[in-house]
Structures are given as C-alpha cells and as structure tokens.
C-alpha cells in the first residue's frame, strides 16, 4: 500500500491534491457530483473585505494548452462568505478548508484575514498578493519585497492560523519575494499564480477580454511553475504549495520532486469537474510505477 498523506503546517492531508482558488467555487457546487472529502482540501473562491462584481465581460479567452481569465475577484465579500457560504460548505465537507484572501490595501488584507481566522472550518489562510486581473490591487503587493513583508506582518499580527502567501510569477526574481515572505513570518508559500497573458481577435483587431489582459493558466505553464518552485525550494525552509499547469498524477510527482509539499489544480477543474478526483484516484498507480512508497519521501527529491 502506498502512502499519499502529507502535512501542511501541522494539518495532515489524505493526499496532496488541492483544487485552486477561483476554480472550485465554495466547494458545495462540486459536492453535487462527487464526495469532495476525497480531496486533500481545497482553496475557496478569492474573498475580499467588500463584495465585488468583478471585471466587465468578456472575461475568458481560449489559448493553445491553456486559457486567459480576467474575472476580477468576483465574490460576495467576507461577511457573506462567513454567514452564507461556509455554513453551506460545512454540510458537505468535514475537513479544514483553505481560505483565499485578496485585498486592495494592507488594512483590507488584515481585516479579511482576521475575520476568517476566527472560523473553525478554516485551516489555513492563503493570502493572494498575485492577482493580475485587478487594477491597483493584488499583484501590486506581490511584486515588491517591502510591500509583501508589510502584508505578511499585518496579517500575522491579527491571526493564529498558518499563513501561506500566494506569489506572482510576473516578477524578475520570485526567490527574493519568497525569502521576504519567510523573513516576515509567513508559514508557507503558494506558487505560482497565473502568468499575465493576452489574445487579440483577428476579426475585430481588438483584445479578446474586456480588461485587455488576464491570467494565463493551463498545462502550458507547468514548466515555468516547476522551475520557480525548484528555485524557491532552494532558498526557503517553509513549505511550498506548487501549482501551475497540473493536469495529471505525473505532474503532481514532478512538482513535489521540485520541492512542493502539496499541489493545487486550477484550470483543469474548469475543463473537467472531475479533474482533481481523477488525479487523486490515479496517484497510487503512478507512485507504484515509479517505486514511490510515501509521497513525503520525494519532496524536493530532484535537488
């Protein structure tokens, strides 16, 4: 029998597969088609202090081996998430969930994290300083070592649960950003968020998405994600949740060899709602194929 269990900041997961924020709603939608308790956990829809309608449409553009999205953090706001979404989730998910938080100021990050930190069902806070789809928010904090330190310190001062900083690949040196997070007290790193991409419609001769640019995700970005996880693993001692282009159990193994303790599956969920479940189901076969008895034995194994 192979052992797929991993531990993230003291919380044991049955397996390392975590649907990524923005691709799995608040979970209960997927619970209608399969038992989501099979997941390691999942990261729920990015939540901000106030409700957000999101960006104008169209918000999606197809690409070869991927997609561009510019949803713009549409969500009902943290109060509604706590009052309405989490109670619905509690009826179908018995594990700790990852709360994904975005903000437009340090005070907003701290406010939202402090609220969600008090919720028993929340196991980790995933602080998104890397959203490329909103103006003057999200990614602007994740491209500066000083700004990201300020966010970490503010969030850690008002929370008790593990804080994972979700980093942008749209930087010159992601290692220095990750080191700044660790130095400021972050408990872990989530990486990478989407690359900044664009498509142009040949008929209209204009950008396909209304926001002009958006987050490029899908299997095409896996090599970039693996490279960045590999680099950051060599620089920090805190755990890494690796993501970016994961579509198969083999991809999970590759990301863990690069240095990830767990992985997130994003765009694949939008193509096939069973994607995360299928990867979990196939993990034991792939582990046996490559002679892996325990997944914890291979974390950073490529170094």
pLDDT classification of 254: cutoffs 50, 70, 90: very high
For residue 211, what are its two tokens?
Answer: 């926001």
pLDDT at 268: 98
With contact defined as beta carbons under 8 Å apart, do 266 and 20 qualify?
yes
Q: How far apart are CA 16 and CA 35, in angstroms?
A: 16
DSSP state of 219: G
List phi, psi (to 5°) of 236.
Answer: -125, 160
pLDDT at 141: 77
pLDDT at 142: 78
Region of 244 please: left (phi>0), alpha (psi -120 to 50) or beta. left
Q: Which of 135, 291, 150, 133 is nearest to 214 (CA)?
A: 133
pLDDT average, residue stretch 144-171: 95
Q: Each residue of 171-228: pLDDT tens digit? A: 999 999 999 999 999 999 999 999 999 999 999 999 999 999 999 999 999 999 999 9
Pairing verdict, β 122-128 and 163-166:
parallel
Q: How far apart are CA 216 and CA 193, in angstroms?
A: 9
Report the mean per-residue pLDDT for the chain.
95
pLDDT of 130 > 90? The answer is: no
Q: What is the pTM for the complete model shown? A: 0.96
Domain residue spans of the chain: 6-298
pLDDT at 133: 52
From 63, 92, 113, 131, the catalytic residue = 131
Q: How far apart are CA 253 and CA 266, in angstroms?
A: 16
pLDDT classification of 256: cutoffs 50, 70, 90: very high
Residue 178 C-alpha from the chain's centroid: 15
> Count of H helices and E strands in the chain?
11, 15
pLDDT at 162: 98
pLDDT average, residue stretch 223-243: 98
Does 6-298 carry CATH code 1.10.287.130? Answer: no
Residue recorded with tokens 């220095």: 176
Q: Each residue of 23-57: pLDDT tens digit? A: 999 999 999 999 999 999 999 999 999 999 989 99
Active site residue 181: no
pLDDT classification of 138: cutoffs 50, 70, 90: low
């Amino acid at each position: 029998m192979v052992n797929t269990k991993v531990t993230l900041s003291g919380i044991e997961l049955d397996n390392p597969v975590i649907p990524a924020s923005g691709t799995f709603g608040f979970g209960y939608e997927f619970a209608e088609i399969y038992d989501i308790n099979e997941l390691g956990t999942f990261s729920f829809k990015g939540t901000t202090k106030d409700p957000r309608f999101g960006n104008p449409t169209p918000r999606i553009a197809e690409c070869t081996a991927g997609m561009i999205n510019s949803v713009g953090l549409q969500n009902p706001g943290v109060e509604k998430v706590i009052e309405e979404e989490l109670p619905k989730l509690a009826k179908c998910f018995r594990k700790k969930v990852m709360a994904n938080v975005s903000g437009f100021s340090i005070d907003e990050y701290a406010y939202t994290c402090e609220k969600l930190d008090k919720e028993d069902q929340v196991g980790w806070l995933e602080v998104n300083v890397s959203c490329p789809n909103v103006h003057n928010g999200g990614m602007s904090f994740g491209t500066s070592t000083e700004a990201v330190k300020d966010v970490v310190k503010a969030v850690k001062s008002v929370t008790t649960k593990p804080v994972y900083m979700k980093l942008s690949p749209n930087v010159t040196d992601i290692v220095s950003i990750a080191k700044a997070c660790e130095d400021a007290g972050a408990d872990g790193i989530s990486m990478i968020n989407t690359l900044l991409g664009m498509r142009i419609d040949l008929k209209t001769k204009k950008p396909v998405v209304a926001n002009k640019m958006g987050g490029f995700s899908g299997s095409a970005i896996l090599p970039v994600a693996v490279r960045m996880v590999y680099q950051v693993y060599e620089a920090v001692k805190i755990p890494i949740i690796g993501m970016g282009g994961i579509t198969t159990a083999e991809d999970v193994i590759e990301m863990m060899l690069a240095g990830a303790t767990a992985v997130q599956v994003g765009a694949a969920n939008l193509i096939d709602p069973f994607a995360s479940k299928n990867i979990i189901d196939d993990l034991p076969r792939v582990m046996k194929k490559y002679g892996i008895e325990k997944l914890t034995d291979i974390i950073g194994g490529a170094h």
